[in-house]
C-alpha cells in the first residue's frame, strides 16, 4: 500500500484537485442562476462533493497508515528488545538469588559441622537403571572430590557416597542403592548396627538396618545416624528413621526398614564432605 502511494501519488493528487476544481466551479456558476437550474446542478454536484470528501478522508487514512507502518514496526522491535533485556535481567537476578541461597546454606552447614570440609555441587543427571540408584554431580577431582566421600543435603542428611570422580564431575550411589554398606548408630540407645542397601527395598526408596545386637530395643521412628566405626565415614549424619522391625527368614536375627531423611527424588543441590575430623 505504501508503494502504491509512492508510485501513484501524483495521479491521485491530480484527480483530487480536478474534482475539487469542478465542484468549486459548479458552485461559482450556480451563483445568480435561477433556482430551478441551481437545484438541478445542486442535485448533480452534491454527490460529487460528498464523494470527494469521503475519498479525501479515506486517502488520508490510508496514507497515514502506510507511512506510519515503518515507525510502528520500529517501535514494536524496540519494545521487544526492552522486554528481552528485562527478562534477561530477571533471570540474572534469579540466578544471583539462588547463588546467595546456596552460599548461605553452605555457610550454615559449615557453622553447624565445623569438622567437615564441604564442596557444594548440583545434581546434573540421575541414573536411569533399575539396578542401581545413582546421581551425577557437577564437581570432581579438580575440586578435591574423591571416591568414598559422603554427600549430604542442605540439612546435613546423608544422601549417599561418591563412587567415581572425574575431572569436573562425579557419580555417587544414593543411600538406597543395593551396594551401600556403612556403620550406623541408633541415636536413642547408642546401639551400633549396619546400614545396608537392599535391591527390593531400593525400588521403594528405602534400605535396611542390620547386625542389630540381640538386646537392642527398637521403636518405630527411632533416628538412625552414621557411625565413624572404621574411620571411613563421618559420624552423626542423619541417615533416616526406622519404619518397621522384622525377623529374617532364618528366624535368628532382626532387621529394620529405614526411610531416608533426605528427599532423594527432588534433590537439586548437595554438599560433598571432602574431609572430616573423626569424632568419637
Mean of pLDDT over the chain: 79
Q: Where are the domains of the chain?
A: 48-111, 116-279
pLDDT at residue 110 in the model: 60
Three-state SS at 51? helix
CA 162 to CA 174: how far, in whole Å? 9
Residues 226/175, Cβ–Cβ less than 8 Å = no
Most confident of 64-68, 78-82, 256-260: 256-260
Residues 172/185, Cβ–Cβ less than 8 Å = no
Average of per-residue pLDDT across 51-80: 67
Most confident of 13-27, 89-103, 231-245: 231-245
Closest CA to 206 of 152, 156, 246, 260: 260
Percent of the chain exceeding pLDDT 90 equals 42
Q: What is the DSSP letter of 135?
A: E
pLDDT at 2 over 70: no
Three-state SS at 110? helix
Return the ∠ at Cα 186 (arms to 180 and 190), rounded to 5°: 130
pLDDT at 88 over 70: no
Letter string b/e over residues 215-241, b meaning 16 or more CB atoms within 10 A of that residue's CB? eeebeeebebbbbbbeeebbbbbbbbb
User: Would you say the pTM of this structure is higher than 0.75?
Assistant: no
Query: Up-side HSE of residue 202: CA atoms within 13 Å toward CB?
Result: 18
Q: pLDDT digits over 263-273, tens only?
A: 999 899 999 99
pLDDT-wise least confident of 12-21, 65-74, 81-90: 12-21
Residues 105/154, Cβ–Cβ less than 8 Å = yes
Q: Which three cell numbers stand for residue 54?
A: 469521503
Q: 116-279 adopts what CATH topology?
A: Thrombin, subunit H (2.40.10)
Percent of the chain exceeding pLDDT 70 equals 63
pLDDT at residue 117 in the model: 86
CA 78 to CA 181: how far, in whole Å? 61
Indicate the pLDDT class of residue 129, thresholds 50, 70 and 90.
Answer: confident
Q: pLDDT digits over 21-44, tens only?
A: 555 555 555 555 455 555 555 555
Amino acid at each position: 500500500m505504501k508503494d502504491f502511494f509512492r508510485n501513484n501519488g501524483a495521479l491521485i493528487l491530480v484527480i483530487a484537485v480536478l474534482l475539487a476544481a469542478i465542484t468549486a466551479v459548479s458552485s461559482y456558476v450556480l451563483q445568480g442562476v435561477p433556482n430551478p437550474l441551481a437545484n438541478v446542478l445542486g442535485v448533480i454536484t452534491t454527490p460529487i462533493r460528498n464523494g470527494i470528501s469521503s475519498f479525501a478522508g479515506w486517502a488520508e487514512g490510508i496514507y497515514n497508515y502506510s507511512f506510519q507502518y515503518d515507525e510502528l514496526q520500529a517501535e514494536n522491535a524496540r519494545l521487544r528488545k526492552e522486554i528481552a533485556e528485562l527478562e534477561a535481567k530477571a533471570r540474572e537476578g534469579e540466578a544471583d538469588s539462588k547463588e546467595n541461597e546456596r552460599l548461605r546454606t553452605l555457610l550454615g552447614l559449615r557453622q553447624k559441622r565445623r569438622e567437615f570440609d564441604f564442596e557444594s555441587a548440583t545434581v546434573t543427571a540421575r541414573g536411569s537403571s533399575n539396578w542401581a540408584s545413582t546421581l551425577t554431580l557437577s564437581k570432581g577431582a579438580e575440586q578435591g572430590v574423591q571416591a568414598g566421600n559422603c554427600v549430604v543435603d542442605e540439612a546435613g542428611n546423608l544422601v549417599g557416597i561418591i563412587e567415581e570422580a572425574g575431572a569436573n564431575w562425579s557419580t555417587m550411589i544414593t543411600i538406597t542403592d543395593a551396594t551401600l554398606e556403612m556403620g550406623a548408630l541408633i541415636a536413642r540407645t547408642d546401639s551400633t548396627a549396619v546400614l545396608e542397601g537392599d535391591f527390593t527395598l531400593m525400588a521403594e526408596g528405602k534400605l535396611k538396618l542390620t547386625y542389630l545386637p540381640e538386646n537392642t530395643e527398637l521403636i518405630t521412628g527411632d533416628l538412625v545416624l552414621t557411625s565413624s566405626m572404621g574411620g571411613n565415614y563421618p559420624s552423626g549424619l542423619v541417615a533416616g528413621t526406622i519404619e518397621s522391625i522384622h525377623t529374617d527368614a532364618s528366624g535368628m536375627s532382626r532387621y529394620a526398614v529405614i526411610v531416608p531423611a533426605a528427599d532423594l527424588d527432588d534433590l537439586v543441590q548437595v554438599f560433598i564432605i571432602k574431609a572430616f575430623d573423626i569424632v568419637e
